[in-house]
């Protein structure tokens, strides 16, 4: 898990968002592994399908909550003009991350969004965000 996200999660109690972040970490790690390795195994494909499907179902709830955070993030040096979570989840197969630098460039904006949301929740603990 990302070191900053991990530190922020220590002060955050919401289990639903924790589950979301845990699975996002799996997608992020898998995307980077496949991109760097230039190959996606059968296990990678299955893991990606399973985790992607879970995230797609859950993201409907988190999308409006995370939108203000990704809108201020940068993608490839420019202001984000599209949802980095949906852009990543629109990739149908793990093998589609091979040589896909554009897909990798989206990941930091999603991570920044998660961290900023967590930081706000810690600073403003009376702001319920859990379903």
* Structure confidence by residue, pLDDT tens digits, 9-18: 988 888 899 9
The verdict on residue 62 lying in a domain is: yes
The verdict on residue 11 lying in a domain is: no
> Measuring CA to CA, how many Å separate 19 from each of 13, 92, 102?
11, 21, 26
Q: What is the mean pLDDT of the chain?
A: 93
The verdict on residue 53 lying in a domain is: yes
Give the total number of structural domains in the chain: 1
* Structure confidence by residue, pLDDT tens digits, 49-97: 999 999 999 999 999 999 999 999 999 999 999 999 999 999 999 999 9
The torsion angles phi and psi of 50, rounded to 5 degrees, stand at -65, -50
The torsion angles phi and psi of 75, rounded to 5 degrees, stand at -125, 120
The verdict on residue 63 lying in a domain is: yes
The verdict on residue 6 lying in a domain is: no
The verdict on residue 99 lying in a domain is: yes
Confidence at 126, pLDDT banded by 50, 70, 90: low
The verdict on residue 18 lying in a domain is: no
- What domain range is 68 assigned to? 34-122
The verdict on residue 7 lying in a domain is: no
């Amino acid at each position: 898990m990302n070191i900053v996200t991990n530190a922020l999660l220590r002060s955050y109690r919401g289990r639903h968002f924790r589950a979301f972040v845990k699975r996002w970490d799996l997608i992020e790690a898998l995307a980077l592994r496949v991109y760097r390795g230039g190959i996606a195994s059968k296990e990678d494909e299955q893991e990606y399908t399973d985790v992607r499907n879970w995230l797609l179902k859950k993201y409907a709830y988190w999308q409006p909550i995370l939108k203000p955070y990704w809108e201020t993030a940068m993608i490839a040096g420019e202001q984000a003009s599209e949802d980095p979570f949906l852009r990543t989840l629109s990739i149908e197969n793990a093998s589609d991350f091979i040589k896909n630098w554009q897909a990798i460039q989206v990941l930091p904006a999603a991570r920044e969004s998660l961290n900023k949301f967590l930081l706000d929740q810690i600073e403003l603990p009376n702001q319920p965000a859990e379903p």
